[in-house]
Amino acid sequence: MLRDKIASKEAKIGIIGLGYVGLPLAVEFAKSGFHVTGIDINELKVNDILNGKSYIIDVPSSEIKTLVKTKRLTATNSYTVLKDLDSISICVPTPLSKSRDPDISFIMACVQEIAKHLHDQQLIILESTTYPGNTEEAILPVLEETGLKVGKSFYLAFSPERVDPGNPSYGVKNTPKIVGGITKNCGKMAQLLYQQAIDNVVLVSSTKSAEMVKLLENTFRAVNIGLVNEIALMCDRLGIDTWEIIDAASTKPFGFMPFYPGPGLGGHCIPVDPRYLSWKLKTLNYYARFIELADEINGFMPYFTVTRINDALNRKRKSIRGSKILILGVAYKANIDDLRESPALDVIKILEEKGAKLFYNDPRINCITVKNHVYESKSITQGLLEQMDCVVITTGHDTYDYSFILEHAPVVVDTRNATKNVRKNRKKIVRI
């Protein structure tokens, strides 16, 4: 029986999608003693894993190499291996369409492949973010078309990923895992599996509840970031330092949690997940006002950042058109190599349209393409800084020497308060 296989770690586990979510999960299961097969249509990722190389910042290549060598971890781009697996976790992207509606096409493509090989005593778990009801309404009917019965012949559950790239304190193992099943048996089976590799597994009543948990977590962040971004806009009108206000409010030991403004929302989750919830509610004739308003404010922040760049250039009697502007940091947050939904790319697009001559540096990203224009990361030197008309900090990085940057740059637009501890040349700084 599947339960016995999981408890004895004899169950063969498959992970579909070997990105920021799937690869760390595969490694954690393999480290706990399971045989894990990673499945990805990207041959480069498969080859990297088979050669013991990691392309994810939170997964050391040494771990991949050891797990592959001991045959705890392997990878393939073929779905035929599904027939030999006991548990399959789906960790594929769930982006927004051009109309900003949920795009679950990657999920459904995987489910169709799983259905071809679905067999008795097999556990299917969706980890990809989706709207409440998706697992039950879209995935379950496809799998039950095989004639197998959920909760008896096979098990179906949802367990939202909680990956925070670059987080030094929390990874897959010590971040509590939420699990919800289509049936009680499904939930308990998924809980049992995750308990073999993760410290704390929290079982909720259904897949719909588990789906909603994920959306609440990121909607909470999106709405509060929207609030503080609007506070930044208000402080700009009032002539007040936003960061001073936040720092002072943060001294209150109760009833306040600090959030920080920035050039916009980045990463796969926060800009995307609330849209899944608001879309679902529209189908029920409900308008999610907080989500829509936060989305509007957060979406405006790249434009506000460009306004502040314009203000900084005005100090030098320059216009954006023709000015040399250096963007510091293009990842969506500090010290990672993740470009997904990065607001820095939106800022670059707007500046491109206004005729700026753009350069960038990011210690973890060597090359980017924005609107078919290829940029290569430039080394930060005194000569480069002195050539620029404006330097814009869109993402802070631990490797940046902000004192050096402020000493040699003509003016700096700081969207992250990264220069807060620098005492000299503070008159050069323009903040959002």
pLDDT confidence bin for 100, thresholds 50/70/90: confident
Pairing assessment for the beta strands 154-158 and 177-181 based on DSSP bridges: antiparallel
> What confidence tens digit (pLDDT) does each residue in 41-74 have?
999 999 999 999 999 999 999 999 999 999 999 9
Sign of the Cα torsion 338, 344, 349, 355 reads negative
Range list of H helices, 104-241: 105-117, 134, 140-144, 184-195, 207-238
Q: How far apart are CA 139 and CA 147, in angstroms?
A: 14
Q: What percent of the chain has pLDDT over 90?
A: 97
> What confidence tens digit (pLDDT) does each residue in 16-46 have?
999 999 999 999 999 999 999 999 999 999 9
Range 139-167 average pLDDT: 96
* Position 348 pLDDT exceeds 90: yes
Which pLDDT does position 256 carry in this prediction? Answer: 97
Residues in the chain: 432
For 45, the enclosing helix (H) or strand (E) is helix 43-50
Which pLDDT does position 99 carry in this prediction? Answer: 83
What CA dihedral angle connects 257, 262, 264 and 268, to 10 degrees? -60
Which pLDDT does position 310 carry in this prediction? Answer: 97
Range 226-247 average pLDDT: 97
> What confidence tens digit (pLDDT) does each residue in 309-345 have?
999 999 999 999 999 999 999 999 999 999 999 999 9
> What confidence tens digit (pLDDT) does each residue in 154-186 have?
999 999 999 999 899 999 999 999 999 999 999
DSSP string, 286-313: ---HHHHHHHHHHHHHHHHHHHHHHHHH
Which pLDDT does position 402 carry in this prediction? Answer: 97
* Position 97 pLDDT exceeds 90: no
The full set of domains in the chain, from first to last, is: 2-205 (3.40.50.720), 224-431 (3.40.50.720)
Cβ–Cβ < 8 Å for 363, 328: no
Whether residue 110 lies in the annotated active site? no
Q: How far apart are CA 210 and CA 179, in angstroms?
A: 6
* Position 98 pLDDT exceeds 90: no
Which pLDDT does position 344 carry in this prediction? Answer: 97
Q: How far apart are CA 154 and CA 245, in angstroms?
A: 54
Range 379-406 average pLDDT: 96
CA nearest neighbour of 265 among 221, 307, 235, 217: 221
Range 395-413 average pLDDT: 95
CA nearest neighbour of 173 among 200, 203, 198: 198
Which pLDDT does position 6 carry in this prediction? Answer: 98
How many Å from the N-terminal Cα to the C-terminal Cα in the chain? 59
Structure tokens at 283: 């189908």
Cβ-Cβ contacts under 8 Å for 210 (sequence gap 6 or more): 157, 158, 159, 160, 178, 179, 180, 204
* Position 132 pLDDT exceeds 90: yes
Rg (CA), the chain: 24
Q: How far is CA 418 from CA 24, 304, 347, 403, 431, in A?
A: 29, 18, 18, 11, 10
Which candidate in 110, 186, 235, 269 is catalytic? Answer: 269
- Angle value at C-alpha 196, between 190 and 197, nearest 5 degrees: 100
pLDDT confidence bin for 268, thresholds 50/70/90: confident
